[in-house]
């Protein structure tokens, strides 16, 4: 069976389930299954409501909002430097990556550029946030399928990455380290050698996970051909990051846009997978983790000298204007649409998070799948609740 | 719906150098992508690419394009009238190939009646007696202009050529409704639901405008500027200390009433150390 057939069949299945929905809703028959808001498979407080016909889902809806913190409103009453503290908490597994697009948007409005060394360190921490984030995904994936061991490996090895982030920024989870015009501090002594050792270790971890999970018969049976997202549908739903690349969309903001990070100076690859199923999403993320470790290694070798802070005014007032800057965060495209009126703080910040769009495909995707596959699909889409609810 | 994306062999890796080959389908758009590296030196090609994108809108819609703005090397803004909203978005999708639905949201351009809650002078008249009046003439819109308090904007992108456009539309205060985009982009569903509950803007033809984040019985529209941030009403934000000059600072640039950033940029280089330390303490305060 070719790829096209599988994708086409999944699409037809979805359409068929769509037809049945009307019947279900009219008659109010069948069973309604409520997953969450406190279900382990939902990674937090996400509620999945599924109407079942036997074991098959005929209609599904997602109820987010259990953790909505109103960051867009809160940003309006903070000054620009204060906003990074808030946005750290959006995708809490890769916190540093949340700060970067906001800072870049503010820098674009102010028309200043960080010095090369700051750009490099920014990119290093950006990619380390990706490693710390996706490593946990790879471990968690096993748990969702009944294999507990990878989770322990993931937590054990992620700690090394967090240690490195902590020794630079002072925070394991919420660095709050990025500044308009540069960074708060330089790297500590001996950090580069330690980091390269940790990156080597993370590559070993990836190999371990590949041996443990990706060659596993049960894993393949549970993920291959499950939750197929066609490419055009992925784009229409705004799927980004590894979820889009797993549907064959060759698009990576690190490569395709020039946002002021140092990804252009190193040699790395964008991996795609044509299948669009759960396996493809996991596989692409595994490769991305490897690429991220390579990026960190190369940037550490090439790290230029010089200042880590551009010349910025003592009081940061951002000139009036609008800017949208997005970066390729661990979960996908994350962007900030910042409207400034020349004030100390932003007038309006629209936060475009990856998980929000990624999860919005679920009502379509869950139609026609079987109950155990809900768990696999939720895990493979990989969302962080803070990233949906903001 | 047809599958428009070409097949790729399994585990294909796209060498980043080969990007220029993959994007040569559309000359104008490819210029926009690949010219990015040179954009800092010469801005001509980038401008032309975005002007070509803008021409797509002006040619097809004529004077129904009410305003536009090109930020060289970054983005294109187009403002259309309300009746043309869906047509303009469809144009972006078909002519510019913007099949990626980035986001949709709204802006309330009215200045907040409570300012930025910095004054810490919230007496009874402002907390107890409803919403302070705002002079409508103080409303000032951003890029591509505008005439009304509420604007809806959506960003669409082409993932191959990196063409992108932000389309804005004005909504009159007495009729906050707009045609839905769910027929064009399935992903517009959640964005419109969020916009509806946060701004009270209804989307005609939307398959189910239900609350997304807020509880069903919630009253009001939180992201409107006249919706108070109750936490600040109860207790003024300690962050106000950050905008006051430091006691030991002799730097005249530290005056909060000083000119905005561009003028200070060149002069305040030696204040960098102080800035970084100051921001660090800001972060700590925000956490607690």
Each residue's pLDDT tens digit, A292-305: 999 999 999 988 88
Angle between helices A116-144 and A95-110 (to 10 degrees): 150
Chain B contacts of A186, Cβ < 8 Å?
Answer: none
- What's the pLDDT tens digit per position in A188-243? 888 999 999 999 999 999 998 888 888 888 888 888 888 899 988 999 998 998 99
Helices then strands, each counted (H, E), chain B: 9, 8
Omega within 30 of 0 (cis) for the link into A37? yes
Interface touch A272/B265, C-beta < 8 Å: no
Q: So what's the pLDDT on residue B118?
A: 54
Nearest to A108 among B7, B74, B186 (CB): B74
Give the confidence band of A351 by pLDDT, cuts at 50, 70, 90. Answer: very high
**Would an 8 Å CB–CB cutoff place A52 in contact with chain B?**
no
Q: Residue A57 in 3-state DSSP? A: strand
Q: Which of B239, B252, B255 to mutate to test the interface with A (most CBs of A within 10 A)?
A: B239
First-last CA distance in chain A: 41
Interface touch B229/A315, C-beta < 8 Å: no
Question: In this predicted structure, which of A62-66, A130-134, A184-188, B273-277 has the lowest mean pLDDT?
Answer: B273-277
Give the confidence band of A4 by pLDDT, cuts at 50, 70, 90. Answer: low
What residue has token string 């910042």?
A338
B47, two tokens: 């401008």
- What's the pLDDT tens digit per position in A132-156? 999 988 888 888 888 888 888 888 8
**Would an 8 Å CB–CB cutoff place A386 in contact with chain B?**
no
In the predicted structure, residue B22 carries a pLDDT above the cut 60 = no
**Would an 8 Å CB–CB cutoff place B235 in contact with chain A?**
no
Contact residues, B window 140-179, toward A, CB-based 8 Å cutoff: 140, 142-143, 155, 159-160, 162, 166
How many beta-carbon pairs under 8 angstroms link A with B?
245
Residue A355 near residue A383 (C-beta atoms within 8 A)? yes
Q: Which one is predicted more confidently, A64 or A15?
A: A64
In the predicted structure, residue B4 carries a pLDDT above the cut 70 = no
Chain A contacts of B278, Cβ < 8 Å?
Answer: 81
First-last CA distance in chain B: 50
B158: region left, alpha or beta (phi > 0 left; psi from -120 to 50 alpha):
beta
- Complex prediction ipTM: 0.83
DSSP for A229-263, written as a single string: --HHHHHHTT--THHHHTTT----HHHHS--S-SG
Distance CA B145, CA A374 (A): 46
Q: Which one is predicted more confidently, B220 or B265?
A: B220
The alpha-helical segments, DSSP class H, found in A28-148 are 71-75, 80-87, 95-110, 116-144
The residues, ordered by sequence, that sit 6+ positions from A19 with a Cβ below 8 Å of its Cβ are: none
Average pLDDT over residues B220-229: 84
Chain A contacts of B100, Cβ < 8 Å?
Answer: 235, 238, 240
């Amino acid at each position: 069976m070719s790829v096209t057939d599988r994708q086409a069949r999944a699409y037809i299945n979805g359409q068929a389930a769509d037809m049945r929905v009307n019947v279900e809703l009219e008659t109010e028959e069948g069973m309604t299954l409520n997953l969450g808001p406190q279900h382990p498979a939902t990674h937090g407080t996400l509620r999945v409501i599924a109407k079942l016909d036997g074991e098959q889902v005929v209609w599904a809806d997602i109820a987010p909002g259990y953790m909505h913190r109103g960051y867009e409103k809160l940003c309006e009453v903070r000054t620009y430097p204060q906003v990074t503290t808030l946005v750290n908490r959006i995708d809490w597994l890769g916190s540093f990556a949340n700060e970067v697009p906001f800072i870049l948007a503010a820098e674009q409005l102010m028309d200043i550029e960080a010095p090369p060394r700051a750009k490099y360190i920014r990119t290093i921490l950006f990619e380390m946030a990706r490693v710390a984030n996706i490593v946990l995904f790879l471990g968690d994936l096993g748990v969702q399928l009944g294999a507990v061991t990878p989770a322990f490996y993931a937590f054990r090895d992620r700690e090394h990455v967090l240690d490195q982030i902590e020794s630079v920024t002072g925070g394991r989870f919420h660095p709050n380290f990025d500044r308009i015009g540069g960074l708060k501090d330089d790297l500590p002594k001996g950090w580069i050698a330690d980091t390269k050792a940790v990156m080597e270790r993370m590559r070993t971890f990836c190999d371990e996970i590949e041996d443990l999970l990706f060659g596993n018969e049960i894993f393949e049976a549970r993920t291959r051909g499950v939750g197929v997202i066609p490419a055009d549908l992925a784009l229409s739903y705004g799927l980004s990051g590894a979820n889009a690349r797993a549907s064959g969309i060759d698009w990576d903001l690190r490569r395709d846009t020039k946002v002021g990070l140092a990804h252009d100076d190193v040699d790395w690859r964008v991996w795609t997978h044509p299948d669009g199923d759960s396996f493809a999403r996991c596989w692409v993320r595994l490769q991305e983790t490897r690429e991220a470790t390579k990026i960190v290694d190369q940037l550490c070798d090439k790290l230029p000298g010089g200042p880590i802070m551009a010349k910025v005014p003592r009081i940061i007032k951002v000139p009036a204007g609008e800017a949208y800057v997005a970066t390729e965060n661990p979960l996908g495209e994350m962007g900030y649409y910042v409207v400034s009126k020349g004030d100390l703080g932003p007038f309006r910040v629209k936060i475009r998070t990856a998980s929000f769009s990624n999860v919005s495909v679920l009502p379509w995707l869950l139609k026609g799948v079987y109950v155990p596959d809900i768990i696999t699909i939720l895990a493979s889409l990989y969302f962080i609740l803070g990233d949906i609810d903001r | 719906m047809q599958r428009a994306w070409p097949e790729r062999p399994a585990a294909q890796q796209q060498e980043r150098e080969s990007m220029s080959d993959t994007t040569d389908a559309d000359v104008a758009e490819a210029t926009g992508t690949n010219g990015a590296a040179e954009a800092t030196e010469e801005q001509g090609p980038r401008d032309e690419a975005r002007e070509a994108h803008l021409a797509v809108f002006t040619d097809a819609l004529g004077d129904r394009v009410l305003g536009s703005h090109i930020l060289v090397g970054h983005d294109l803004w187009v403002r259309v009238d309300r009746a043309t909203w869906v047509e303009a978005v469809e144009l972006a999708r078909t002519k510019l190939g913007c099949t990626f639905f980035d986001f949709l949201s709204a802006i309330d351009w009215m200045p907040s009646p409570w300012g930025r809650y910095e004054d810490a002078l919230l007496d009874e008249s402002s907390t107890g007696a409803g919403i302070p009046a705002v002079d409508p003439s103080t409303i000032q819109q951003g890029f591509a202009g505008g005439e009304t308090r509420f604007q809806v904007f959506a960003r669409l992108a082409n993932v191959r050529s990196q063409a992108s456009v932000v389309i804005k539309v004005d909504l009159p205060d007495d009729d906050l409704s707009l045609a839905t985009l769910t027929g064009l982009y399935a992903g517009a569903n959640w964005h419109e639901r969020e916009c509806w509950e946060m701004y009270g803007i209804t989307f005609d033809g939307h398959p189910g405008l239900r609350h997304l984040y807020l509880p069903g019985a919630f009253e009001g529209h939180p992201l409107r500027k006249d919706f108070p941030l109750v936490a600040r009403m109860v207790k003024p934000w300690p962050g106000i200390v950050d905008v006051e000059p430091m006691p030991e600072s002799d730097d005249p640039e530290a005056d909060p009433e000083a000119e905005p950033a561009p003028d200070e940029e060149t002069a305040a280089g030696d204040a960098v150390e102080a800035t970084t330390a100051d921001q660090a303490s800001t972060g700590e305060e925000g956490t607690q």
